[in-house]
Copies of this chain bind each other. A is one copy, B any other.
Amino acid sequence: MESLFLLIVEIVGTIAFAISGIRLAAAKKFDWFGAYTVGLATAIGGGTFRDILLNAPIFWMHNGWYLGVTGLSLAAVIVFKKSLVRLHNTIFIFDTIGLALFVVIGIQKTLTYGYPMWAAIMMGTITGALGGVIRDILINEVPLIFRKDVYATACIMGGIIFWVISELGCSSIVQQLVCSATVIVIRILAARYNWSIPILRGYADSKNDI
């Protein structure tokens, strides 16, 4: 029952991540193959790099549904085109819920492999946020999460809360729920109130230094 719920959340999150990649690829006039690839990289890129760092079997390589779900996402974007724009808020919520789950998955898997908590928080953030960085590299743009949006920061905050809850001796399910809620609430509040992280200033001319 619980695992069915988690599977549904993971599928929804994967779709939302894939759609974000497919839409940005479409804005760059990528063809269907390019859009599919960018969507897939957005959806599974973070978890793939986490598994490489953990030296774990890559999570999707014995499990084809990630590729199938990305294909469905591409079909949805092709068929529904601009009407997807009206679903902007829905997709944002799905994306945020998926992000929260991916962070929790990343943290727990890293702890399972015996790494310290700070490494787990970092892997949770990588699981949630690196897919978007890879997406932006593939479409040749500066990664969005480095310039605006409290996105990775929400992951890090969720991870720190996970740690605190863990130190308090709460059960695993409480950790997961509070961590997820933290990621979701911070991201939604940040989007609602335009929160941002300070920008580094005064280096406009240092571009040519090493």
Contacts and interface: CB of A to CB of B under 8 A. Distances in A.
A92 B43 CA distance: 34
Interface stretch (A3-11, A61-69, A166-174, A176-184): A61-69
Interface in A94-132: 95, 115-116, 118-119, 122, 132
A133 B138 contact: yes
A141 B206 CA distance: 14
Interface string A143-159: 11111110111000000
B31 A197 contact: yes
Nearest to A208: B144
Counted per complex, copies of this chain come to 3
Contact of A27 (B20, B37, B206): B206
A32 B67 contact: no
A189 interface: no
A95 to B, nearest CB: 7
A1 interface: no
Interface residues of A, number: 72
Interface in A9-31: 20, 22-31
Q: Which of A37, A122, A202, A210 has the most CB of B within 10 A?
A: A210
A38 interface: yes
A194 interface: no
Contacts of A209: 20, 23-24, 88
17 contacts: A23-B206, A25-B200, A26-B206, A29-B147, A29-B201, A30-B147, A30-B199, A31-B146, A31-B147, A31-B148, A31-B199, A33-B153, A35-B200, A37-B152, A52-B53, A64-B118, A67-B118
